[in-house]
């Protein structure tokens, strides 16, 4: 769930404006799926290495709902082996001190607070309802609560953005000194609203100059590139690059890109990735994409989780 849908977004996420009524049932079923999956992992002897809570904006939920979901995770999985716990608090307008304290109290050590740009007119153009000031306030609040590992996402090539404006975004973020800065390049997906707006001028945005400046400044400022991936329809055939301060690399980001580790996904749109390193096999188990489908066909979807056991049985 997200507060609003960004114009460039093609992720399977729901605007909270139109589906608030789905959330209580969705949270109930998500907690049930977590319990069900935890029993399978316990039976198989699988150990958690990282926890990543994101896709959409988890902090769209209330503090009480976040607390409930995180406690269900902690009470059903063995957390003693977890090396990294990330929650996407992506939209600054969903962040409160109470929510951040809930995240911290339940074991989260890393959060993403994503401005995408530090230009208010660009934020408005892409359909985000928060302001630059709200981003700075949320970042300061996360530091106050005690988070010492913060990621910030930005996007090169956004509608109405300029090279000068983007350079200002990079410079201001470097001044803030987050542990991770992820520099995305705009990718206009088929399902994104921007792809159906009729305004293709955005494709002429000089994203290459923006990324070139970001690379120069981040290297000068002691950040190191540690993961990279490409998507379809990216401007200038560029890529997304994760930058990090030494020792703050996100393990989950590395594992999901390298496909070297099984990832168990829960929730609407979740894609479980089962990896057999010795046999070279990789299989996926998909959840229903939309919250309405997830709620409606939950029992059938839950049965798919049994494929995890079947996969490990083949290994033996």
**Within a domain: residue 182?**
yes
Burial class (CB in 10 A: 0-12, 13-18, 19+), 283: middle
Residue 15 has pLDDT above 60, yes or no: no
DSSP conformation class of 60: G
pLDDT of residue 103: 98
* Percentage of residues in the chain having pLDDT higher than 90: 70
pLDDT at 192 over 50: no
Q: Is residue 99 part of a domain?
A: yes
Return the pLDDT at 191: 43
The DSSP 8-state label assigned to residue 213 in this structure reads H
pLDDT tens digit string along 227-273?
997 765 555 567 899 999 999 999 999 998 888 899 999 999 999 99
What is the reported pLDDT for 20? 80
Q: Say which range, 28-37, 192-201, 238-247, 255-264, has the weakest mean pLDDT.
A: 192-201
pLDDT at residue number 190: 46
Instruction: Please check whether residue 293 lies inside any domain of the structure.
Output: no
In a domain, residue 153? The reply is: yes
The whole-number pLDDT of residue 21 equals 87
User: pLDDT, tens digit, for every residue of 47-105?
Assistant: 999 999 987 789 999 999 999 999 999 999 999 999 999 999 988 999 999 999 999 99
pLDDT, tens digit (0-9, with 9 covering 90-100), for 105-161:
999 999 999 999 999 999 988 887 889 999 999 999 999 999 999 999 999 999 899
3-state class (DSSP) for residue 150: strand
Domain that holds residue 70: 16-21+49-259
218 falls within a domain: yes
- Rounded to 10°, the helix 23-44/63-76 angle is 20
The answer to whether position 175 is within a domain reads yes
**pTM of this prediction?**
0.89
Radius of gyration in angstroms for the set of CA atoms belonging to the chain, rounded to a whole number: 20
Quote the CA–CA distance of 229 and 263 in Å, as a whole number: 18
Tell me what pLDDT residue 232 has.
59
- What separation in angstroms does the CA of 154 have from each of 102, 171, 242? 26, 12, 10
User: The domain spanning residue 173 has which CATH number?
Assistant: 3.20.20.70
304 falls within a domain: no
Please tell me the total count of domains within the chain.
1
Residue 280 lies in a domain: no
Asked if residues 179 and 149 have their Cβ atoms less than 8 Å apart, the reply is yes
Give the bridge partners for 285, in sequence order: 272
């Amino acid at each position: 769930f997200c507060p609003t849908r960004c114009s460039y977004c093609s992720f399977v996420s729901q605007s909270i404006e139109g589906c608030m009524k789905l959330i209580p049932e969705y949270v109930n079923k998500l907690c049930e799926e977590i319990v069900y999956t935890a029993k399978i992992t316990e039976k198989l002897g699988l150990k958690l290495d990282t926890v990543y809570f994101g896709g959409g904006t988890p902090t769209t939920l209330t503090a009480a709902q976040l607390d409930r979901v995180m406690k269900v995770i902690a009470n059903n999985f063995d957390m003693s082996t977890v090396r990294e716990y990330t929650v996407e608090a992506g939209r600054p307008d969903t962040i409160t001190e109470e929510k951040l304290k809930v995240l911290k109290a339940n074991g989260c050590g890393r959060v993403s607070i994503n401005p995408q740009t530090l230009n208010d007119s660009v934020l408005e153009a892409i359909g985000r309802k928060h302001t630059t000031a709200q981003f700075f306030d949320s970042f300061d609040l996360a530091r106050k609560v005690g988070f010492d590992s913060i990621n910030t996402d930005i996007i090169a090539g956004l509608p109405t953005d300029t090279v000068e404006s983007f350079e200002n975004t990079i410079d201001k973020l470097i001044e803030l000194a987050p542990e991770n800065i992820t520099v995305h390049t705009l990718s206009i997906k088929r399902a994104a609203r921007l792809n159906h707006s009729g305004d293709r001028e955005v494709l002429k945005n000089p994203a290459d100059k923006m990324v070139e400046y970001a690379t120069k400044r981040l290297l000068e400022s002691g950040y190191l590139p540690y993961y990279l991936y490409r998507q379809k329809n990216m401007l200038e055939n560029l890529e997304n690059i994760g930058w990090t301060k030494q020792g703050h690399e996100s393990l989950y980001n590395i594992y999901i890109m390298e496909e070297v580790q099984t990832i168990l996904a829960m929730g609407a749109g979740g894609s479980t990735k089962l990896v057999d390193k010795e046999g070279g096999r990789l299989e996926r188990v998909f959840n229903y994409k939309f919250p309405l489908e997830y709620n409606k066909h939950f029992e059938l979807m839950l049965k798919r989780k049994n494929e995890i056991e079947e996969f490990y049985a083949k290994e033996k």
